Amino acid sequence: MVLTYFLFQLIFQATVRCLTCTEIADDPKVVARYRQFFNQAERLSPAVVLFPWFPSPSMVMRSWATKQMYDIIVRAMKVRKQSGIPQNDALQMLLDSGEEHFTIVGVSVLLIHLPHYSRCIASL
């Protein structure tokens, strides 16, 4: 169980480093908060599955966690723009291509969730 937890942390850290930016990946506290929000956003209750339109407490918590992940990425984008120091990461590539911040956040969040979704689909 300890090895599984360690491997999950390692894979999550590598995913964050590859798909977001150095401002997030270099701060272990931010990565831990992001992982906590990620786990919250991934929890599904039967009510969410059966009644996706109903604002259940689980759905509200999922929406809140997604908003918190959005805020972490937007804060990192603002820090990068204010510092003006270019880095060699996914965020810099998206900023250099002139993408809007909604697109950048969408790409970052979607790509971090992608390994989880592929694991869920493979288990079916």
Cβ atoms of 95 and 81 closer than 8 Å = yes
- pLDDT computed for residue 75 by the predictor: 92
For the chain, the average pLDDT equals 82
Cβ atoms of 115 and 104 closer than 8 Å = no
Predicted TM-score (pTM) of this structure: 0.79
Domain coordinates in residue numbering, the chain: 2-123
Cβ atoms of 72 and 30 closer than 8 Å = yes
Q: Is residue 21 helix, strand or coil?
A: coil
pLDDT digits (tens, 9 = 90+) for 19-69: 888 899 999 999 999 999 988 887 777 777 787 778 888 888 888 988 998
